[in-house]
Chain A
Amino acid sequence: MVYLGALAALSVSTLYGFLILRSLDREKDIFFLESLGISYGIGLGLVSLVMTFMALAGLRYSVFSILTAALFLPLILFFITPRTGIKSPCLPDKFKPLEILFLGFISWEVIYAFFRCLIKPIESYDAVAHWAFKAKAIYLFGGLPLDIFRRPIPADLIFTADYPWLLPFSEAYIYNFLNSFNDFASKIIIPLFFLFCIALFYRLLKRQGLSRLHSLIFTFFLASIPQFNNYATIGYADLVLGFYYSFSFIYLYLWFKNGPRIFLLVSGIFAALAVYTKCEGMPLLLVNFLVFLMFIFFGKSYKKREDVKNFFLYLSIVVALLIPALALKWITSAGLENHTVNALAFSNFQLSNIKRIPMILYSYQKQFFGIKRWNILWIIFFGTALCRFRKLLEGDKKYLTIGISLIFAGYTAVFILSPGPQEDLRTVSRLFLHFLPLIVFFVAEFLIPDRMKTDRKT
């Protein structure tokens, strides 16, 4: 019963996300399946944004106040933009046996992930210590007091005082909706992100012109990566960040390839929501900006002036969404700069930290050959990059290559800058999840020759 309540809560937020998406997608460029995934992400982002504003205004949370405040933005957008309706889902052609087989494999992975997630309460270390604990505190406080970390609160929470609030807010939203604390119910958020990630990924591969069978196979690759699948079940925020960031980059890339304007808007919204989810969202956002600037200065676009305008539009979306989140972060964690795990990690930078590079690379290669966690994904990834070496920096595809290279460089820099104990490198496997869909997308883009792709309008 509590699962139905949680699903009802998430359906309402998804409906709000859907209203926003419909208002922004004036040309009806987003397909139905795609819009469900995007709406789920936007909906939870909207709830978090509203709860952020309410916290800044000192208001208490209730299901009525959250949903009423959250309805404000979709309603305004709905009334000021022309009606467009939905791009109606067309009936697919008859599935071939092999397609049914892979659809079955994907369904199995999704069902198995939901099963493993929902039979256990939130119990993994970070899921409890970083996210669920804050959600419980918010629910029991009836809001988010700005001095939360100065009140009597377990010292364990102060270490993560500067962590973003999207996941605790989402969990607390479900508790408010149910009017009771039940961490079995709130746990459903993450496997739903997994499900929509799979659906959205499939749709984007189809957009790239891949056949249905190829799209299903690559979607199955993503769904069946043990590390990715496991993180859909344990309540960590890494898969959520992987969802927001990977699709923000892929939509930006598709927009570079003459995609419609809605792709740019979705990319901007998702990039900001990545920062709402985890601190790592910030360097990843920087990668999007850098790639965008490269597109303007080194791309072959003949509409430079318009591209610059669009860059500022992108920047404005991100900044507008981030200001409240950053304000909340600064206010709640003010004065605790020397106590948070991030500040402690970065306070010890020395030039000699460069010596850590071999150790970092060693931990990377352990992942690349870690078949138990990643199947043969990384081997295929490097094999594809090697075989298609000449095409890596050709045309629009170069932005994918540059983006992934910048992400690797960025994370390596973080490991150099934050010289924690060697055990910190154990988080490498988790960090790779933040852009995993992007890696599978890269493999699909380069492995399947262009001649085998249908020429679709992205």
Chain B
Amino acid sequence: MKIFKVIVVIWLIIWGWFFLRQFRIDEHLFPTYKKLFSSGNEERRRLVFGENFYDFMKFSKHSIPSGSAYEIVGLEADSVDLVRLVYFMYPCLRSSEPEYILVYEQPGFDDKELGFHSLFDGKSFILKRKN
């Protein structure tokens, strides 16, 4: 059973080492945990998704009617941000024939078929298909 004792000791050392190491590698981890713990759910979402991006998602959801079709410009295909946005916006649907275009941090984006709908900030805004 000596070998078992050795295994337990090695396991504990590695366990403790990697646990402490995560806080050394990422110095923001502990303050982030502290901040998340003391925040409300809304603030937690802002911290996790990124403050600007979460505010943009909220702005978009409130700016277009529920159930309408939209497309997003400015997020990479298959990125986690895209998935989060599509999930957050539901029941608004991402579509290849959108009524609205959500433009995120692409100040130069323009399309002649689209008109301005609403402004989030200097770089992000929503366009609407012209009737």
Q: Which of B14, B84, B93, B94 contacts A123 (CB 8 A)?
A: B84
Enumerate 19 A-B pairs (CB-CB under 8 Å) in ascending A order.
A119-B44, A121-B44, A123-B48, A123-B49, A125-B80, A128-B84, A136-B87, A152-B93, A153-B93, A154-B90, A154-B93, A154-B94, A155-B94, A184-B44, A375-B18, A376-B7, A376-B10, A380-B7, A449-B1
Minimum CB distance partner of B67 in chain A: A152
The answer, yes or no, to whether A133 is at the interface (CB within 8 Å) is yes
Contacts of B18 in A (CB 8 A): 226, 371-372, 375
The answer, yes or no, to whether B30 is at the interface (CB within 8 Å) is no
Q: Mark A143-155, 1 if CB is under 8 A from B, else 0.
A: 0000000001111
B83 to chain A, nearest CB (A): 5
Q: Verify A184–B41 contact, CB threshold 8 A.
A: yes
Q: Verify B14–A371 contact, CB threshold 8 A.
A: yes
> How many angstroms between the C-alpha atoms of A448 and B1 in the bound complex?
8
Contacts of A372 in B (CB 8 A): 18
Q: Which of A121, A129, A224, A380 contacts B48 (CB 8 A)?
A: A121
Total A-B residue contacts, Cβ distance less than 8 Å: 73
Contacts of B48 in A (CB 8 A): 120-121, 123
Q: Verify B8–A121 contact, CB threshold 8 A.
A: no
The answer, yes or no, to whether A382 is at the interface (CB within 8 Å) is no
The answer, yes or no, to whether A132 is at the interface (CB within 8 Å) is yes
Q: Verify B90–A375 contact, CB threshold 8 A.
A: no
Q: Which of A116, A121, A447 contacts B45 (CB 8 A)?
A: A121
The answer, yes or no, to whether B109 is at the interface (CB within 8 Å) is no
Q: Which of A133, A226, A371 contacts B90 (CB 8 A)?
A: A133
> How many angstroms between the C-alpha atoms of A125 and B44 in the bound complex?
17
B32 to chain A, nearest CB (A): 9
Q: Enumerate A132-167 residues with CB–CB distance to B below 8 Å.
A: 132-133, 136-137, 140, 152-156
* Interfacial residues, chain B to chain A (CB-CB below 8 A): 1, 4, 7-8, 10-11, 14-15, 18, 33, 36-37, 41, 44-45, 48-49, 69, 80, 83-84, 86-87, 90-91, 93-95
Q: Verify A448–B4 contact, CB threshold 8 A.
A: yes
Q: 5 more A-B contacts (CB under 8 A) besides A120-B44, A156-B86? A: A121-B48, A132-B87, A140-B90, A155-B94, A221-B11
A208 to chain B, nearest CB (A): 15
Q: Verify A115–B14 contact, CB threshold 8 A.
A: no
Q: Verify B93–A224 contact, CB threshold 8 A.
A: no
Minimum CB distance partner of B82 in chain A: A156
> How many angstroms between the C-alpha atoms of A352 and B37 in the bound complex?
52
A415 to chain B, nearest CB (A): 21
Q: Verify B87–A133 contact, CB threshold 8 A.
A: yes
Query: Could you tell me the dominant secondary structure of chain B's interface residues?
Result: helix
Q: Enumerate A83-136 residues with CB–CB distance to B below 8 Å.
A: 115-116, 119-121, 123-125, 128-129, 132-133, 136
Contacts of B41 in A (CB 8 A): 121, 182, 184
Q: Enumerate A8-36 residues with CB–CB distance to B below 8 Å.
A: none
Question: Given contacts A119-B36, A125-B80, A380-B7, is CB(A140)–CB(B15) below 8 Å?
Answer: no
Contacts of B14 in A (CB 8 A): 371, 375-376
Question: Given contacts A119-B33, A119-B37, A123-B49, is CB(A137)–CB(B90) below 8 Å?
Answer: yes
Contacts of A448 in B (CB 8 A): 4
Q: Verify A154–B11 contact, CB threshold 8 A.
A: no
Q: Verify B87–A224 contact, CB threshold 8 A.
A: no
A380 to chain B, nearest CB (A): 6
Contacts of A447 in B (CB 8 A): 4, 7
Contacts of B91 in A (CB 8 A): 140
Minimum CB distance partner of A101 in chain B: B12
Q: Verify B11–A376 contact, CB threshold 8 A.
A: yes
The answer, yes or no, to whether A452 is at the interface (CB within 8 Å) is yes
Q: Verify A129–B83 contact, CB threshold 8 A.
A: yes
Contacts of A380 in B (CB 8 A): 7
Contacts of A155 in B (CB 8 A): 94
> How many angstroms between the C-alpha atoms of A217 and B4 in the bound complex?
10
Contacts of A123 in B (CB 8 A): 48-49, 80, 84
Q: Enumerate A364-402 residues with CB–CB distance to B below 8 Å.
A: 371-372, 375-376, 380
> How many angstroms between the C-alpha atoms of A123 and B44 in the bound complex?
11
B91 to chain A, nearest CB (A): 6
> How many angstroms between the C-alpha atoms of A133 and B91 in the bound complex?
10
> How many angstroms between the C-alpha atoms of A155 and B69 in the bound complex?
12
Q: Verify A129–B36 contact, CB threshold 8 A.
A: no
> How many angstroms between the C-alpha atoms of A140 and B1 in the bound complex?
57
The 5 closest A-B pairs by CB, nearest first: A119-B36, A129-B83, A128-B87, A125-B80, A133-B87
> How many angstroms between the C-alpha atoms of A154 and B4 in the bound complex?
53
Q: Which of A120, A125, A133, A140 contacts B36 (CB 8 A)?
A: A120
> How many angstroms between the C-alpha atoms of A136 and B91 in the bound complex?
9
Contacts of A129 in B (CB 8 A): 83, 87
Minimum CB distance partner of B92 in chain A: A154
Question: Given contacts A120-B44, A133-B90, A152-B93, is CB(A375)–CB(B11) below 8 Å?
Answer: yes
